[in-house]
Chain A
């Protein structure tokens, strides 16, 4: 080491910024807790939790390798929560997965959240993950090895001990042993692959940079950070996650450290203390988010600290692999400081050393020597704080460096020197050094140089790492203002499908298991989401009524825009007050605008004020567009209408300014009239003012405000009349006479400008406040209406009504003024949102944020990230909710229920003689002792042995075949024509209740003469479809005397309850339903199409006797079909849903919590009362409890019957109700025999349903063989083709067809051929139109269809390609459109490939184009052009 190398100039771009961190370490489930524990000196060391490893292993007096002398350490069991649902990881996978992989995922996402990234917006391309992770025996691997190896070890050795063990007994024991461990299989063993700790993070967060784990023992984390920095500095990556993870897993790990003598015998970790006798195991995970510092500064990231240097070095041959070499450590430090270009020995070079300090005397001494040598003798004694996190959490091994680095970065950031525990007798060599041990937190005072901290991590085998941190000057001010107001306010945004789910989402968010907004129409936005405010938000969601931003909370249960409501921009005109707040808006969005002070300096000068208003409105309109707030309507109040015209593109901004200049004093004169605002409606005002001369209504704003205008004398008289009528009124202090006939004679100068205005077609319709309709298109009419508006009353009340009637639900005042109040007053209770983009009370950006939040909750796709800090980082509490991962690998323990019972008997008869192996002899002696002690018990066993022990498991197979189980044909989801030959096409499905009957039949055989008294935890995983005969496996396992676990393998499972007798039947609930009314469905109509789909074998619902708000009562009758009676109980529930669901009425059962029988099933012919209590009715599910009773006594109770509701569009619904007559594709408005399929079939359940609905057996089998993507491509074409054929049949007087009655074949050379069961053969042409699929049917030989997108620009280019004859055929008007028609017609024919290369347009009529002898139909709507042949003139539909 020479001073020359040290002083070498450093590359200025070397610094890497730490911009986000997260961790779980003993006692701290999150970063905040970690820091507060550090500051307060929290000792997280405790005894090992029993679930980690058995206390039997602890024996401080033993030196055996399978005993350990230390059992204290740092553990995170209660903090290791993982939200499998959020990450879309199956619970089965979670069970067997290495917990470190799942925790890495959680903590990585939280670290990114801390850095301001969400899962959605984290840059994917150049982001990587490097995690330090040791190759120790981990929990997942230990458990797996136990299953694979130890199970075999057990039985093979047992066989040696007990030679007459049979293969079956060994198998049974092996199975029993393995069943005590979690499931392992092809679906989840990937979770045991070690590198997935990093790769799973990259996978789930979709990161495309490098992702790997490294093992450098205790230096792993810092080496990971070094690798990450290096990738950043050479530009290979732009964002890196780096850190380490370690869970103190297996007892073998403890054993190794005890054998090495590394663990403390006193079970206390005392770094740098004279009494130190070893380290303690710790564990945890820490991840840091790193970015190049200039990038972080550019992005405005919070920087905890910058990494000035990293150094990694090995001892080489320095010393033995166990003993630390000072040279190696020094080398690592030297490399880091050289990289930083800093002199370690300089005064003030450093303020804090986060030491390795594992608490072993030799190790700590070596580290002290290194530090003293490297940083030199004291200039100022003890100026550098020395400590280590290990005194609080133990030694987290590969994760230790991450713990130390996070601690040091927080110390730098919070300018605090944190304490170290248990070092009351510091090593003497510290006393005269530059270092001192800090025992209690102290402020970290500056000393002229930046605050710097060095972090050490030295690993076994001589691998050393050092990281040098420095405070970021900019972060100082941020750190100081931590408690001050945030620069960018945080907002919490959450979306879900219902208020109840949203409340759950809030809870998940609170507990840190949710961090992305989610999807759904029910949305909430909350600024400054403190715990108290989140509680308040829950109250609001519970109330489930809309809230629009009072106190920073927005909530909408459905979303006005989400439900199809439209957005209107309403531009204000001249108002009594004009106090815009736009300075900050202009500067934020980089717009030039006069400062507020100047905008308003004109006082009540009309020209100045108008100009100010129009400029402010214009600025806000542009900014809103930039924030992706897109209006469907534009309108204005008074001169605000000019802004509406600018925004729509009708007039130019500059032209409007010219118009305003004509209001300049001197250029225009105003009538001598004043305005009076009155707090009443127009009718009332007109009544009060009756008889007063020269007084008119100028603004009809709303039901509680009109503005009147007239001579002062009349107005004064009116004021006193209003007073006596108790009507509030106020004179306005500006004069113009606008919107009254009195202004007409002064209109001249304005009219001159308006007449000369160049006008364009609007992009978005402008609605007039005079006519309350959209502005006309004709330029002359536009000009007249603009002038008319100035002399006619502003009909704002009617305009609001009209817009609302047209579909507007959101009214945004784009400017400042009173329009919001008017809109609210007009619309009153009707669902709407009215708000202002600018208010005098708040600064401009603040109000824009209110607008964005409100629009987002209402379902608009606005850009919130521009103005908000989307608060997605979870506020994780100390003990997190979610599923706690199991971190331990306890021993497998068999109990009395295992086959070991019969093995003991075998052992008794095993010959002990002739065995020479001393171990086996010992075993036999032990067994003999056991035998003696339990002699009586064993005798008893033996005496019973002649009686076959009842089996504990039973597996049966059952063939399901509609030819035998005819009743299943009455449980079909897909009605087909009565005479359809293939019953399988009807989609017969085994009812859930029949599955229960099947399982209970098998369970009964295990129950030893007992009876079945119910079921619990019924979970249906898949439907059992029996289109084809199918054999299912039914397994039952006796778990306890009264409990059999049963399943139909792969389909459904439950627990069957058995007992000697039924419980005594309680009295049935005989009270009337709440809000009871008679059933709207008469009994004879219950099983009609579109209601219950059941055939006669299941039609056991006799009548519905009453329907209530949340209840329904009916009479059901037992039928012979298996499970029919309980199915009927479910049908009664389904009827309630039919009556109450506005849509999505189709349901299927998926869950049933419990069934209790109070007696045997009543015989067929009985009449039973069935009463359903609906517990939950949500968008996607409905849950009920059901009581079936006979003569006032309950026969059966079903609790928690859960139906899944299918999401259906209206069209889907209509097809399900009447598949013979209704089409899924909609008939095209202008193209005969053509239909367009626009339904979304991306959802697999929906897609499979309609595949079954439309395809016959042959087609369906082909469909099932396709990938999901192929299905999504092919199925819409098949549906559209079949519907086009069905449409043709309908249009040509043929009988209606089910989709299945249309058979499709490929038709050479193009399109499809459709054979209709009762009609002609048709040809079908297909074309895609955006995301929709169009199909056209004909009985002619050839059919073609093309759908083209047209754009005006394309058409003008087309002009060049037209021949003179063709050009002559173009009409004078709509030339663009006709050019597009010509092109479409030619392309339609050109696509034939029949050898012709030139096509010439020869003629055209109203909608057709004749190309080279063939007439081609064309239809133009919006930007879509349909072109087709054959196009007979008479079949054209005229628009």
Chain B
């Protein structure tokens, strides 16, 4: 698995931001960290994350469309690494275009 270090770190920082006060300093976000089980991210927080991602990457990444295509169990099992991978994919395909 290859991932762009910086994209993952950006996403992790955003998650930390969204969680705010609820952020547990003893928890480190790994690519394997799951949104629902490990982070206990609520749907509203997820929306807030989506908003941040869009603000950061703009049209290059259509996070909403990507999420909308997912089934419920896929969403529940989603890990932080999935998001950063998807972003990296979008970014590199845009570059090759």
User: Which residues of A are at the interface with B, using a C-beta cutoff of 8 A?
Assistant: 536, 539-540, 543, 545-548, 550-551, 553, 679-680, 702, 704-705, 723, 726-728, 818, 820-822, 824-825, 828-829, 841
User: Inside 8 A of B26's CB, which chain A residues have their CB?
Assistant: 536, 539-540, 551
B50 and A679 within 8 A (CB): yes
Q: In chain A, what residue has the closest Cβ to B64?
A: A726
B83 within 8 A of A: no
Q: Is the CB of B20 within 8 A of A540?
A: no
Per the 8 Å Cβ criterion, residues 9-29 of B in contact with A are 20-27
For A536, the chain B residues whose CB sits under 8 A away are 26
Q: Which residue of B lies closest to A533 (CB)?
A: B26
Given the known interface contacts A723-B65, A726-B64, the answer about A822 and B44 at a Cβ–Cβ threshold of 8 Å is: yes
Contacting pair B24 A821 (CB below 8 A):
no
A551 contacts B25, C-beta separation under 8 Å: no
Interface flag for B90 (CB, 8 Å): no
Beta-carbon nearest neighbor of A725 in chain B: B64
- Contact across chains for A550 and B42 when beta carbons are under 8 A apart: no
List 13 A-B residue pairs with CB atoms under 8 Å apart, sorted by A's residue number.
A547-B22, A551-B27, A679-B47, A704-B51, A705-B43, A723-B64, A723-B65, A726-B63, A728-B47, A818-B43, A821-B42, A822-B44, A829-B20
Chain A residues lying within 8 Å of B43, measured Cβ to Cβ, are 705, 818, 821
Q: Are A539 and B25 in contact (CB under 8 A)?
A: yes
Chain B residue numbers with a CB within 8 Å of A547 are: 21-22, 24
Closest A-B pairs by Cβ, 4 of them: A821-B44, A679-B47, A821-B42, A704-B47
A841 to B48, alpha carbons, bound, how many Å?
22
Interface centre among A553, A704, A829, by most chain B C-beta atoms within 10 angstroms, is: A704
A540-B26, A547-B22, A550-B40 known; A825 vs B64 contact (CB < 8 Å) = no
CB distance from B15 to the nearest CB of A (A): 13
Return the chain A residue nearest B36 by Cβ.
Answer: A841
Cα A546 to Cα B21 with chains together (Å): 6
Given A539-B25, A702-B44, A821-B45, answer yes or no on A727-B64 (Cβ-Cβ < 8 Å): yes
Cβ of B93 under 8 Å from chain A: no
Residue B33 at the A interface, CB < 8 A? no
Give the contacts of B36-64 with A (CB-CB under 8 A): 40, 42-45, 47-48, 50-51, 54, 62-64
Task: Assess the A705–B44 pair: CB atoms within 8 A.
Answer: yes
A825/B22 contact (C-beta < 8 A), A723-B68, A726-B54, A726-B63 known? no
Query: B39: shortest Cβ distance to chain A, in Å?
Result: 9
Residues of B within 8 A of A825 (CB): 44-45, 48
**Given A723-B68, A726-B63, are A704 and B24 neighbors across the interface (CB < 8 Å)?**
no
Number of A-B residue pairs, CB cutoff 8 Å, is 67
CA distance A841 to B20 in the complex (A): 22
Q: Chain A nearest CB: distance from B56 CB in Å? A: 13
List B contacts of A829 (CB < 8 A). 20
Chain A neighbourhood of B40, CB < 8 A: 550, 841
Bound complex: CA A577 to CA B94 (Å): 38
Would you give the shortest CB distance from B74 to chain A, in whole angstroms?
A: 14
| A1199–chain B nearest beta-carbon distance, Å | 33
Distance between Cα atoms of A757 and B54 in the complex (Å)? 50
Contact check, B22 vs A818: say whether CB atoms are below 8 A apart.
Answer: no
Q: A540-B25, A547-B22 are in contact. Are A728 and B50 (CB under 8 A)?
A: yes
A679 to B, closest residue via Cβ: B47
B46 vs chain A, min Cβ distance (A): 8
Shortest beta-carbon distance from A554 to chain B in Å = 11
CA gap between A818 and B27 in the complex, in Å: 25
The residue of chain A having its C-beta at the shortest distance from the C-beta of B42 within the complex is A821
Cβ of A702: which chain B residues have Cβ within 8 Å of it?
44
- Whole-angstrom distance between the alpha carbons of A824 and B48 in the complex? 11
**A820 x B63 contact (CB < 8 A):** no
Q: A702-B44, A704-B51, A824-B44 are in contact. Are A728 and B22 (CB under 8 A)?
A: no
The residue of chain B having its C-beta at the shortest distance from the C-beta of A826 within the complex is B44
A548 and B42 in contact (CB under 8 A), knowing A726-B54, A726-B63?
no
Interface centre among A546, A680, A822, A824 (most CB of B within 10 A): A824
Do B67 and A728 touch (CB < 8 A)? yes
Q: How far is the CA of A539 from the CA of B23 in the complex (A)?
A: 13
- Contacts of B44 on A, CB cut-off 8 Å? 702, 704-705, 818, 821-822, 824-825
| Interchain CA distance A704-B40 in the complex, whole Å | 18
- Min CB distance, B48 to chain A, in Å? 6
Chain B residues contacting A828 (CB-CB under 8 Å) are 20
With a CB–CB cut-off of 8 A, which chain B residues contact A727?
A: 64
Least Cβ–Cβ distance between A576 and chain B, in angstroms: 9
Q: Is the CB of B47 within 8 A of A543?
A: no
* Closest partner residue, chain B, to A704 (CB atom): B47
Is there an interface contact between A728 and B24, defined as CB atoms closer than 8 Å? Answer: no
CB distance from B63 to the nearest CB of A (A): 7
- Cα A30 to Cα B64 in complex, Å, equals 58
User: Given the complex, which residues of B lie within 8 Å of A550, measured CB to CB?
Assistant: 22-24, 27, 40
Q: How far is the CB of B11 from chain A (nearest CB, A)?
A: 17
Determine the chain B residues whose CB is within 8 A of the CB of A841 once the complex forms: 40
The residue among B23, B24, B40 with the most chain A CB atoms within 10 A of its own CB is: B24
Closest to B61 in A: A726
Q: How far is the CA of A824 from the CA of B24 in the complex (A)?
A: 16
A546 CB, min distance to chain B CBs, angstroms: 5
User: Which residue from chain B places its CB closest to the CB of A548 in the assembled complex?
Assistant: B22
Complex Cα spacing A548 to B24, Å: 9
Q: Kindly provide the distance from the CB of A942 to the nearest chain B CB, expressed in whole angstroms.
A: 73
What residues of chain B lie closer than 8 Å to A680, measured between beta carbons?
A: 47
Distance between Cα atoms of A821 and B48 in the complex (Å):
11
Q: B69: shortest Cβ distance to chain A, in Å?
A: 11
CA separation between A841 and B40, bound complex, in Å?
Answer: 10
Q: Of B21, B25, B50, B67, which is within 8 A of A548 by CB?
A: B21
Look across to chain B and name the residue whose beta carbon is closest to the beta carbon of A832.
B21
Q: How far is the CA of A541 from the CA of B48 in the complex (A)?
A: 28
Contact A728 B68 (CB under 8 A): yes
B residues in contact with A553, CB < 8 Å: 24
Chain A nearest CB, measured from B50 CB (Å)? 6
How many whole Å from A687's CB to the nearest CB in chain B?
16
Question: What residues of chain B lie closer than 8 Å to A539, measured between beta carbons?
Answer: 25-26
What separation, in Å, do the CA atoms of A1008 and B85 have in the docked complex? 81
For the complex, give the distance between the alpha carbons of A536 and B27 in Å. Answer: 10
Which residue of chain B has the shortest Cβ distance to A535 in the bound complex? Answer: B26
Further 8 A-B residue pairs, CB within 8 A, beyond A728-B47, A821-B42? A540-B24, A543-B25, A679-B51, A704-B48, A705-B47, A723-B68, A728-B64, A822-B44
CB distance from A312 to the nearest CB of B (A): 55
Chain B, residue nearest A540 (CB): B25
Query: How distant is B55 from chain A, measured CB to nearest CB, in Å?
Result: 11
| B-chain residues with CB within 8 Å of residue A679 when the two chains form the complex | 47, 50-51
- The distance from the CB of B26 to the nearest CB of chain A, in whole angstroms, is 4
Q: How far is the CA of A132 from the CA of B43 in the complex (A)?
A: 64
Name the A residues within 8 Å of B20 (CB-CB): 828-829
Q: A551 to B40, alpha carbons, bound, how many Å?
A: 10
CA distance A1133 to B21 in the complex (A): 34
Give Cα A1330–Cα B27 distance, bound, in whole angstroms.
Answer: 50
B residues 56-95 near A (Cβ < 8 Å) are 62-65, 67-68
Alpha-carbon separation in the docked complex, A680 to B50 (Å): 11
Question: Which residues of chain A are within 8 angstroms of B50 by Cβ–Cβ distance?
Answer: 679, 728
| Contact partners of A705 in chain B: CB under 8 A | 43-44, 47
Which residue on chain A has the smallest CB distance to residue B47?
Answer: A679
Give the distance in Å from the alpha carbon of A536 to the alpha carbon of B63 in the complex.
35
Which residues of B lie under 8 Å from residue A546 when comparing CB positions? 21
Q: List, in ascending order, chain A residues with CB within 8 A of B65's CB.
A: 723, 726
Q: Quick one: closest B residue to A702, CB to CB?
A: B44
A536 to B64, CA, bound (A): 36
Question: Which of chain A's residues has its CB closest to B40's CB?
Answer: A550
Bound together, the chains give a CA A550 to CA B48 distance in angstroms of 19
Least Cβ distance of A155 to chain B in Å?
Answer: 65
Residues of B within 8 Å of A822, CB to CB, are: 44
Cα A824 to Cα B22 with chains together (Å): 10
The residue on A at minimum CB distance from B20 is A829
Q: Nearest chain B CB to A338's CB is how many angstroms away?
A: 59
Complex: how many Å from CA A765 to CA B15? Answer: 37
Bound form: Cα–Cα A828–B62 in Å: 25
